[in-house]
Structure 1
Amino acid sequence: MAEGSFVGNIAKDLGLEVSRLVTGKARIVTKGSRQYVDLNRDKGTLVVKERIDRKELCNQTTPCSFSFEVIIENPIQLYRITVEVRDINDNAPSFQRDSVNLEISKSAVSGARFSLDSAEDRDVGGNSIQSYTLKPVNNFTLELHSLTDGEKYVEMILQNPLDKERQEEFTLLLIANDGGDPQKSGTLHIHVIVIDANDNAPVCSQSVYKADIKENSPIGTFITNVSAADADSGSYGKVSYSIAHVSREANGLFQMNAETGEITMSAQLDYEKEKNYQLNVKARDHGGLTNTCKVVIEIFDENDNSPTIQLMSFSNTIAENSPPGTTVAVINVEDADAGKNGVVHCSINPDMPFKIESSMTDYYSLVTDGILDRESISEYNVTINVSVDWTPILFSNKTVTVKVTDVNDNPRPLTAVSMRHF
């Protein structure tokens, strides 16, 4: 949607008068560096601030949404707003390379299978890849497989044996089609070379390999080893390994030894960015026959992020006759780690007429917890501490100064007056 497009009427949705948004200086607070929408206080509406790319925001996650808070002052009120971003078909399917060479033995029998590169489409749902087409279909048919996690891969099945003497090589066209309107597609040229006999294809020892690794593991850390056997002898029985298809998220993170099938880490991992990866590994003999297996890599979270404190709203002065429970500040506390590593504890220094209350997830309120007396103490330095209990213990703190203002609560004392009677 274009900049300035209407997103929603939050004044109506929250049951607020527009005048309350104006007098309370309502404003949007975002946790990240991007603010996708603006608040029009005079109308109580949200509008698009900048063009939103759903793929950049959520990748393949659906439904896709972003959240932010709206704070209103005098008195302080806090609301959380969630906006869903719907996908449009603005990406065509694409292959990671334009063409591939495929060597097939002349003795390959009908029913022999050959795995092909899968296309990728950054759109989701009905706008993502829906079908594949192979042209021409003289010798091969196409079969599309769907895995339990929703991933798809393509195999080409030989229908009629190839005749090397009649035609040594030819080209096929693999077309990936999405379900958008209008439909978009991507193509891959398959250059088939007919070679001498290779009777057996490699067979992976497992169809699915599972491995796990800590996010702070050093580069070069061993992950798992893929192995395949080939019943042929000589060069036709020698198997080499490669990562056949890798997502943009996993690209460059893992390295495979073509001879041993060993997979190692080649770049730093971050659990907060991606929690697991799936690799399609191709085992190929020197006769061109292949077998494909899947490697699922789970990333374990480490406590490597310090908690953060952000002061969302703060009144640095407070009247000495304010009742207990008066809100002084609203604080946003977050930790990028997950699970137990992301559980944050919030507290303040003791012996203060204040306390911390949890108002909603990730938010705390600093409120009064006793009687204030400016004549006794006119200023408090309140230190807000946040920490995570798990090793290593990470913490942050922020100190705010609260000044107590005077009210006329001490009557003027009577003074002695000398009286003379006349």
Structure 2
Amino acid sequence: IGGRMLLWCVLMAVWEVSWGQLRYSVPEEMQKGSFVGDVAKDLGLQLSALRDHGARIVDKGRRQYFSLHEKTGQLVTAERIDREQVCRLMEKCVLRCEVIVEGEMKVYAIEVEDINDNSPAFSKAALDLEIGELILPGARFPLQMAQDPDVGSNSLLSYQLAENPSFRLAVKESPDGSRQPELVLEATLDREKQSSFQMMLTAVDGGSPARSGTVQIRINVTDANDNAPVFSKSTYEARVRENVPTGSLVLQVRATDADAGSNGRVSYSFSNVPNAVRAVFSIDSDNGDIRSVGILDFELRNKYTFAVEATDGGGMSDHCKVHVEITDENDNAPEIKTLLVTSTIPEDSPPGTVVALVKVHDADSGDNGKVWCELEGESPLSIVASSGSSYKVVTASALDRERASEHNVTVVASDRGSPSLSSRTVLSLSVSDVNDNAPVFEEAAYSAYVSENNAAGAAVLRVRARDADAGANGRVSYWLVGGSAGETATAAAAAPYVSVEARSGTLYAQRSFDYEQCREFAVEVRAQDGGSPARSSTATVRVFVLDLNDNAPHV
């Protein structure tokens, strides 16, 4: 263009440059103004021509990477060139340039040479893998390849894996020359022993000096249901007192499963237990708590043995035994059973005579079931221990029906619990009479005064005797047993003067008395009871005959 030299560069990424006779090369990343080639000399141009005509770069919208140094005629870099940005992954990076001087065009090519200015890089900061614990050794797991935008040996990658006994690194070469890193399982995995692995994968290029990049490999060993739940004990034992409130915690069974997720989630249940167990116990399927749901009664049943099953989400299970001992509470009062009762006892029974035989029983155990008996109140009876849990109620002293014809005694049975519980039963004992009392007259001697000439059969006097006994033993009859006459009557004649009525004890005159013949007489009256043998006593009745003027004087 008319004495002016125009220089522009046309960027082209090509594998081969068949056009142009001039060829230059320049390493990438050179500083601005770095020498590329002596254009003036290679094109046969005089330096003075370049100076005279001057030069300027004509920008036709394309980026200019080179410029012509006006003073030296040398081609220099117009800016720092990044080969990887300009040519991407092309094996060769060639820039085409055209120089026009006074209408004449010269073409040349500039190859931008690669330098090892890029390190291998992985697209992710970490590679996450999940490997099942049942995967067999020898399994391969492709890993992400690193990328190096350099070319040639600068991009030739090799891989290194941090040492790990469970894994090794293998590299698979593809037909296109790329290298695929693979992780090879070397040993059997056990998630329950080690659930994860971390190791570093390093990619190294072939540059000099070499560059490298790393990525962390994180391996999560996924669970397989290869472990059954295991109880912490094969047998659990617990002691719980009877009558605890419903819902009370009895014990907790605990099973663990080394697996994860649902495979390690344990649920609890009873294993083939009878309804009698389910009636009093429940089990929480989530936490293994065994609680009371019914009344625990030591006296009905003091021990329970049953099985518990722990099952994981994969159906594997374990079993354990549970022994629950019910401890006694003093919740039962002693029971008193009368085996033998003598309702009536003769009053002459000797001390030690058995009146009643009682048996005591307390359903509780230990001290709560130990019973002792006593009689409550005062009585001529006592209670003594017999064989086993039997007691005898016996007479402690002589009985006297006449003082007490009936005895009501209370048998008290108390246990040794704390607080003590007791029961009572009343024994009624009647004392039967024996003829141990003779009739007793109200007076030891009686006197009666009767006027002579009395009517025959007239009542003279009534005697009375009392007998403390009962029934026939206390029924008194009266008899005359003899008498004595006064001054004019003989003793033998005294008896016919009076008679006595057996039942009432009334004495009646048998004749009319005559003072002049018998002024007084005495009889003995016997009071006799109806016992067998009979008892009796006597009293003397003295009768005085009073004189009447029934005789005229004699001359």
Q: CA deviation at 1:392?
A: 2.5
Say whether residues 1:420 and 2:485 are aligned partners.
Answer: yes
| 1:301 pairs with one of 308, 328, 331 | 328
Q: Distance in 2 between matches of 1:352 and 1:232?
A: 79
| 1:344 pairs with one of 371, 392, 410 | 371
Aligned to 2:341: 314
Q: Distance in 2 between matches of 1:252 and 1:411?
A: 73
Say whether residues 1:364 and 2:429 are aligned partners.
Answer: no
Aligned identity (percent) is: 43
Q: Confirm or deny: 8 A CA contact 2:377 2:409 kept in the other structure.
A: no
Q: Distance in 2 between matches of 1:350 and 1:234?
A: 75
Secondary structure of the 2:484 match is: coil
Q: CA deviation at 1:213?
A: 0.8
Q: Structure 2: which amino acid aligns with 1:372?
A: L
Q: CA deviation at 1:346?
A: 0.7
| 1:373 pairs with one of 397, 400, 417 | 400
Q: Distance in 1 between matches of 2:260 and 2:344?
A: 85
Say whether residues 1:325 and 2:352 are aligned partners.
Answer: yes
Q: Confirm or deny: 8 A CA contact 2:341 2:357 kept in the other structure.
A: yes
Aligned to 2:538: none
- 1:37-186 pair list within 5 angstroms: none
| 1:206 pairs with one of 221, 226, 233 | 233
Q: Structure 2: which amino acid aligns with 1:225?
A: Q
- 1:239-250 pair list within 5 angstroms: 239-250=266-277
Secondary structure of the 2:271 match is: strand
Q: Distance in 1 between matches of 2:244 and 2:389?
A: 29
Aligned to 2:453: none
Say whether residues 1:284 and 2:311 are aligned partners.
Answer: yes
| 1:393 pairs with one of 420, 425, 443 | 420
Q: Structure 2: which amino acid aligns with 1:420?
A: A
Q: Comparing 316-325 with 402-411, which one deviates more in the overlay?
A: 402-411
Aligned to 2:246: 219
Q: Distance in 2 between matches of 1:212 and 1:348?
A: 38
Q: CA deviation at 1:286?
A: 1.0
Q: CA deviation at 1:350?
A: 4.1
Q: CA deviation at 1:242?
A: 0.6
Q: Comparing 220-229 with 389-398, which one deviates more in the overlay?
A: 389-398
Aligned to 2:260: 233
Q: CA deviation at 1:197?
A: 5.3
Secondary structure of the 1:341 match is: helix
Q: Distance in 2 between matches of 1:241 and 1:247?
A: 17
Say whether residues 1:253 and 2:280 are aligned partners.
Answer: yes
| 1:403 pairs with one of 406, 430, 437 | 430
Q: Distance in 1 between matches of 2:224 and 2:416?
A: 64
> Which structure 2 segments of 5+ residues have no match?
1-133, 135-222, 446-481, 491-555
Q: Structure 2: which amino acid aligns with 1:390?
A: G
Q: Structure 2: which amino acid aligns with 1:244?
A: S
Q: CA deviation at 1:327?
A: 1.3
Q: Distance in 2 between matches of 1:252 and 1:412?
A: 75
Deviations 1:145-203 (A, max 9, x none): xxxxxxxxxxxxxxxxxxxxxxxxxxxxxxxxxxxxxxxxxxxxxxxxxxx95211111
Q: CA deviation at 1:244?
A: 0.7
Q: CA deviation at 1:291?
A: 0.8
- Total equivalences in the alignment: 228
Kindly name which structure, 1 or 2, has the bigger radius of gyration based on alpha carbons.
2
> Which structure 1 segments of 5+ residues have no match?
1-106, 108-195
Say whether residues 1:354 and 2:354 are aligned partners.
Answer: no
Q: CA deviation at 1:248?
A: 4.6
Q: RCO higher in 1 or 2 (8 Å CA, sep ≥ 6)?
A: 1
Q: Confirm or deny: 8 A CA contact 2:369 2:416 kept in the other structure.
A: no
For normalisation by structure 2, the TM-score amounts to 0.39
Q: Structure 2: which amino acid aligns with 1:281?
A: V
Q: Distance in 1 between matches of 2:412 and 2:260?
A: 68
Q: Confirm or deny: 8 A CA contact 2:303 2:325 kept in the other structure.
A: yes
Q: CA deviation at 1:282?
A: 0.7
Secondary structure of the 2:485 match is: coil
Q: Confirm or deny: 8 A CA contact 2:279 2:294 kept in the other structure.
A: yes
Q: CA deviation at 1:413?
A: 5.1
Q: Distance in 1 between matches of 2:354 and 2:275?
A: 47
Q: CA deviation at 1:349?
A: 2.2
Q: Distance in 1 between matches of 2:312 and 2:376?
A: 68
Aligned to 1:334: 361
Q: Comparing 389-398 with 217-226, which one deviates more in the overlay?
A: 389-398
Secondary structure of the 1:366 match is: strand
